[in-house]
Amino acid sequence: MRKKLGAFREDTLYQGDALALLPKIPEGSIDLIVTDPPFAIDFRAQRLNYNRKGSNVIEGYREIPEEEYGEFTRAWMVEAARVLAPTGSMYLFSGWNRLRDILEGIDAAGLTTINHLIWKYQFGVFTKKKYVTSHYHILFVVKDPKQYTFNKMDHYPEDVWVINREYWKGRKKTPTKLPPELVRKILMYSSNPDDLVLDPFLGSGTVAVVAQQEGRHFLGFEIVPDYLAFANECLQKR
């Protein structure tokens, strides 16, 4: 029997602010959250992003002002913890520049960090006077450290994942996009068929698409209408 989602329906994407929509999800109804929230960086959607023409990057990317990022992070994480099932977990992505806010948000939400994963990808933005950043942090956190879903698929599962970004030359995309291989790995380890997976900062919709492919149910929120339309297109192409 499926969980009741109040105003929402499973396997559906919704347009709106995650801070406004998360409180409407019933408590304890989400099995897994996988999300890549805004990083509070000066990211311009029309720049030459990884050798793609700016015209191929969908406009509208919205960031959180740096001075508001800590409060924003704590607010959405407290709600995320509330909606997680007792055995639920969350994987959230962070750049190094906002990692402290993310860690403080985890503590404020009463969640427990199980692993601090590193995602190493194949390229970064060119720099002149500092090292090129070519990795993201992934925080694997749970509601109850004594009981949570973890399907140990490898004998020796390491905490550094080397997974290349996709190279989408000549095709429309959002400024940031998670590789399906990365999301699939998370879903295989930390969810089971028919589980409900939430992404409150949907972006291009990779989490929803991979969840659908792998027999999981999904729920997604996105504040930018064009991104939501793009995500729904990706779902329909499956």
Q: For 74-109, what is the HEC assignment?
A: HHHHHHHHHHEEEEEEEEEEECHHHHHHHHHHHHHC
What is the predicted pLDDT for the residue at 41? Answer: 46
The pTM (predicted TM-score) of the whole model is 0.87
CATH of domain 12-236: 3.40.50.150
CA pair distance 184, 13, nearest whole angstrom: 19
Q: 44 pLDDT exceeds 50? A: no
Greatest alpha-carbon span in the chain: 56
Using the predicted structure, report yes or no on whether residue 173 has a pLDDT greater than 60.
no
> What distances in angstroms separate CA 26 from CA 6, 71, 92, one per listed residue?
6, 23, 21
Across the chain, mean pLDDT equals 86
Residue 107 is encoded by which pair of tokens?
């503590």
pLDDT at 38 over 70: yes
Alpha helix ranges (H) inside 119-214: 180-190, 206-213
Whether 187 has a pLDDT exceeding 60, the answer reads yes
Task: Return d(Cα 25, Cα 79) in angstroms, integer.
Answer: 9
Q: What is the spatial distance between Cα 58 and Cα 213, in angstroms, rounded to a whole number?
A: 24
List Cβ neighbours of 30 (8 Å cut-off, separation of 6 or more).
Answer: 83, 84, 85, 88, 196, 197, 198, 219
Query: Residue 138: helix, strand or coil by DSSP?
Result: strand
Calculate the alpha carbon distances from 191 to 30, 82, 85, 137, 147 in Å. Answer: 11, 18, 12, 20, 13
- Per-residue pLDDT reduced to its tens digit, 88-101: 999 999 988 889 99
Provide mean pLDDT across the span 182-192: 98
Nearest C-alpha neighbor of 122 from the set 159, 166, 92: 166
**Calpha distance 141→164 (Å, rounded):** 24
Task: Categorise residue 28: left if φ over 0, alpha if ψ from -120 to 50, beta otherwise.
Answer: left
Decide: 84 and 28 in contact? Cβ < 8 Å.
Answer: yes
Name the residue type at position 190: S
Q: 136 forms bridges with which residues in the sheet?
A: 119
Report which of 14, 12, 13, 17 is spatially closest to residue 62, judged by C-alpha positions: 17
Q: In angstroms, rounded to a whole number, what is the distance separating the alpha carbons of residues 39 and 63?
A: 7
170 pLDDT exceeds 50?
no
